[in-house]
Amino acid sequence: MSTERIQRQTGVVPPSVAASSGRSAERGGDASPRRRTLVEHEVVQRCLAGDERAWEKLYRRCHPRLRKAIELLLGVEASDGHVIEEIASRVWYALWKDDHRLLAAYDADRDSALDSFLMGLARIEILRYTRSERRRHSHEMSGGRKRLEEERVSDWQLATMMDEFSATLTPGERAFMERFLTVPVDGQADAELENLPPTTVWTRRYRIRRKLNRFLENL
């Protein structure tokens, strides 16, 4: 009976083969996460240097995993895709604003994986989002929205309000809102949105929403 057949039947592997397999598995197991961390660290450094393409690469690389993390954190509320995208946009904007101060706090040696770092930021943004939505809902019920419903705002009054709100936006924000936020988005608009730099998409969404909340609070 051959040695190979004995090994197959008994499951016994010679020490030399076991050691070789262990070394191979060890190399394979360590190389992938370590290499990913090194690549992410290099991309982060390019982002901090102001490389727009690096931001796009970071977004394409991490955004799908960030969305999955947010879904996990939201639990039953994850059924609303708009909420997931809103939280994700807030995370990216937090990384981008203030000269990327928050992104600069990422330490590949300390935080291990960039995914873990982003998940921590997502937890913070979910808490902030929950608080802001609670305040907005309270205001709508006690003031702005309730008053609008009672007064039965006409179409022309609503159009006037939208014009007043549009006046608070920058030209770029106004064009973005009119193209992507106030009308049903078609296939062409989806394609245009995909071609925009990710930094443009998440910063404009966040700023428009923030200005809209302030506008409604002052009604």
pLDDT one-digit tens code per residue, 86-126: 899 889 989 998 889 999 988 877 756 888 899 999 999 99
Assess contact for 74 and 84: CB atoms under 8 A.
yes
DSSP designation for 78: G
Rounded to 10°, the helix 81-104/15-48 angle is 80
165-171 contacts, C-beta under 8 A, 24 or more apart? 165/211, 165/212, 165/215, 168/211, 168/215, 169/208, 169/211
pLDDT in tens, 136-183: 777 666 655 555 555 565 677 778 888 899 999 999 999 988 888 876
pLDDT reported for residue 111: 58
Q: Please give the single-letter amino acid code of residue 49.
A: A
Domain boundaries, the chain: 1-134, 143-219
pLDDT reported for residue 79: 80
Specify the pTM: 0.64
pLDDT reported for residue 92: 92
Res. 209: pLDDT tops 60: yes
Classify domain 1-134 by CATH number.
1.10.1740.10
DSSP designation for 49: T
